[in-house]
Amino acid sequence: MERTADIASFPDAHSANQVATLVRENGIECAVQPVLQENLGPIASPEDGGMMYHVRVAHDDAARARDVTADMFTAEWFLCTPQGHRYHPFHTATTAVLLTHVATHGERDPKAREVGHLADLMQQHGWHTVNDAFHEGHLWTRHERELEGAGLADWAHRCGCVHAQPHAPGR
């Protein structure tokens, strides 16, 4: 049997299935496995037991799956498949992710052309992620910047991203 890796665990199936859907939209096979948790010992309360839902992928896909799901519950904008399904948080997208997006959608799509233009700007300036492109400074001096007169939300809209209200898992 192929080695697997847990990429997320939740006390409810809904959150686990949201993660699994996003992972599958990226072409990564995964499974949601419910596991009954035993009490943790004599000092644990009865509430410490119960069902946990683990999202598991092949060990070789774990790093990519973690990248895809990073910040998915707090992301405001998502890149979408040509069918309109969200598949990657916009702010964590790298140049490689953006270029793959353009290749998938085709350069005839005006929104994909905007994604390609953003990827070009990121390459020119050496920014690793979309978030890096729209923020400058370090820790205490960090502030937002505009690219060509537009902020992150404007670029997300121009690039055809879907807006998703941030929410916490299980809500």
Q: Is residue 70 part of a domain?
A: no
Is 34 a domain residue?
yes
85 assigned to some structural domain: yes
Mean pLDDT (whole number) for 80-84: 88
| DSSP E strand stretches across 15-76 | 30-37, 50-58
Residues 123 and 153 in one domain: yes
- Per-residue pLDDT for 169 more than 60? no
Residue 167 has pLDDT above 50, yes or no: no
Q: Has residue 118 been placed in a domain?
A: yes
Q: For residue 143, which phi and psi values (nearest 5 degrees)?
A: -150, 165
User: How far is CA 113 from each of CA 18, 104, 125, rounded to the nearest angstrom?
Assistant: 29, 12, 19
Which residue pairs, CB below 8 angstroms and at least 24 apart, start in 84-91? 84/162, 85/21, 85/25, 86/22, 86/25, 86/162, 86/164, 87/22, 87/25, 87/26, 88/22, 88/26, 90/130, 90/152, 90/156, 90/159, 90/161, 91/129, 91/130, 91/131, 91/134, 91/152
> Per residue in 27-47, pLDDT tens?
999 999 998 866 555 554 455
Tell me the pTM. Answer: 0.71
pLDDT in tens, 92-136: 999 999 999 999 998 899 999 999 999 999 999 999 999 999 998
Domains contained in the chain, number:
2
Which one of 37, 62, 87 terminates a domain? 62
| The pLDDT of residue 69 | 87
> For 132-151, what is each residue's pLDDT tens digit?
999 987 777 778 889 999 99
Q: Which domain holds residue 53?
A: 4-62
DSSP element (H, E) containing 6: strand 4-10
State residue 44 phi and psi, 5-degree precision.
Answer: -85, 150
43 and 121 assigned to the same domain: no
Please report whether residue 69 resides in a domain: no
Contact 162/86 with Cβ under 8 angstroms? yes
Strands of the sheet containing 162-163, edge to edge, are: 86-89, 77-80, 162-163
Structural domain includes residue 168 = no
Average pLDDT, the chain: 85
Q: Are residues 85 and 158 in the same domain?
A: yes
